[in-house]
Amino acid sequence: MSDGNRGPGFGRSEAAQGYLLVATPLAYALLLLAAPLGAILLFSFWSQDYLTIDTALTLKNYREALSDPLYRQLLLRSLLISAAVTTATVLAAFPIAYYVSFHVAPERKAMWIFLITIPFWTSYLIRVFLWKVILGYNGVFNTTLLGLGIIDEPLTFILYNANAVVITLAHAYAPFAILPIFVALEKIDRSLHEASQDLGEGYLSTFWRVTLPLAMPGVVAAVLIVFIPTIGDYVTPVLVGGPDGRMIANMIQTQFLRLNNAPMGAALAVLTMAMVTVVALVFVFLNRRYLRGRQ
């Protein structure tokens, strides 16, 4: 092929091809991510009076959201619930991931991981209902404890409150936390543990000085994977949360659909996102520190 073919026309068509290639994901990103985000942001600076939307820009919604104790309480509670869920999930996930990585024969690890994902074979809604059956007044848990004579009357603090939300969510997100921690543990060179023992450390101090720091990227990933979606969860609080277990997402839904105050809902959504961003940044920063010196 001669050089004549590689004229400007060729270059242009190449560039065009490039744009075409980029166009689809770009359109996708714009349409499905940027546009809704922009719309929410814009809405949050408007105001609404019954059915009429006032498009004059105002900070009124934010002022209200941050001063009204109801919203403040909901935001705080969402933060606390997802912090509790994240802590519980990661603390429960770590020993499981550790066990599979260090104490399961290599040829059986895949099967264990497979078993861990089994709960995902049923829909989330069904799993939540199952938790209602387990935690309810006449549920499995209470009946068992009553039968064993450990309690005299059914426990009520386990359903229709924040505890139930934490338990249900922690169960739902467990595999998401187990997997990244498992992967991080798998990547640790086993001779490092032996080196630590050889240098005089026991099992526990080897864990603190070698295993945990090296597993940290997995732990941070697990924290983010659990924390980010749980703070905005609204199905679980509705089903098992009761009045005390309601979270900010329920309020956002109410604002949009029942109170016809989309701008207020939008402002609350933006505040929630801001909170998530701050927490995520803290963890990303932590991860950087742990990854220092390793590539």
- Choices 42-50, 137-145, 207-215, 255-263; region in contact with another protein by CB under 8 A: 207-215
- Choices 94-102, 130-138, 208-216, 254-262; region in contact with another protein by CB under 8 A: 208-216
- Choices 60-68, 112-120, 242-250, 287-295; region in contact with another protein by CB under 8 A: 287-295
Please report how close the Cβ of residue 107 comes to another protein at its closest, in angstroms.
Answer: 15
Give the residue with the Cβ less far from another protein, 157 or 208. Answer: 208
196 contacts another protein (rule: CB under 8 A): yes
Task: Evaluate the CA torsion angle 160, 162, 167, 170 in order and state its sign.
Answer: positive
51 contacts another protein (rule: CB under 8 A): no
- Choices 30-38, 128-136, 157-165, 202-210; region in contact with another protein by CB under 8 A: 202-210
Please report how close the Cβ of residue 90 comes to another protein at its closest, in angstroms.
Answer: 19
- Count of residues interacting with another protein (CB under 8 A): 22
- Choices 33-41, 70-78, 200-208, 232-240; region in contact with another protein by CB under 8 A: 200-208
Phi (first) and psi of residue 42, to 5 degrees? -65, -50
- Nearest one of 81, 98, 97 to 227, comparing CA atoms: 81
- Nearest one of 38, 125, 88, 73 to 248, comparing CA atoms: 73
Q: Give the residue, chosen from 14, 54, 68, 194, that forms a contact with another protein under the rule CB under 8 A.
A: 194
Please report how close the Cβ of residue 218 comes to another protein at its closest, in angstroms.
Answer: 13
295 contacts another protein (rule: CB under 8 A): yes
27 contacts another protein (rule: CB under 8 A): no
Please report how close the Cβ of residue 183 comes to another protein at its closest, in angstroms.
Answer: 16
HEC string of the chain equals CCHHHHCHHHHHHHHHHHHHHHHHHHHHHHHHHHHHHHHHHHHHCCEEECCEEECCCCCHHHHHHHHCHHHHHHHHHHHHHHHHHHHHHHHHHHHHHHHHHHHCCHHHHHHHHHHHCHHHHCCHHHHHHHHHHHHCCCCHHHHHHHHCCCCCCCCCCCCCCHHHHHHHHHHHHHHHHHHHHHHHHHCCCHHHHHHHHHCCCCHHHHHHHHHHHHHHHHHHHHHHHHHHHHHCCCHHHHHHHCHHHCCHHHHHHHHHHCCCCHHHHHHHHHHHHHHHHHHHHHHHHHHHHHHCCCC
Q: Among residue numbers 126 through 155, which ones bind another protein (CB under 8 A)?
A: none
Please report how close the Cβ of residue 176 comes to another protein at its closest, in angstroms.
Answer: 25
288 contacts another protein (rule: CB under 8 A): no
Q: Give the residue, chosen from 164, 181, 210, 223, that forms a contact with another protein under the rule CB under 8 A.
A: 210
**Contact 102/215 with Cβ under 8 angstroms?**
no
191 contacts another protein (rule: CB under 8 A): yes
Give the residue with the Cβ less far from another protein, 257 or 291. Answer: 291
Give the residue with the Cβ less far from another protein, 103 or 258. Answer: 103
8 contacts another protein (rule: CB under 8 A): no
Residues 6+ apart with CB under 8 A from 197: 203, 206
The residues of the shown chain that bind another protein, judged by CB under 8 A, are: 189, 191-192, 194-202, 205, 209-210, 213-214, 290, 292-295
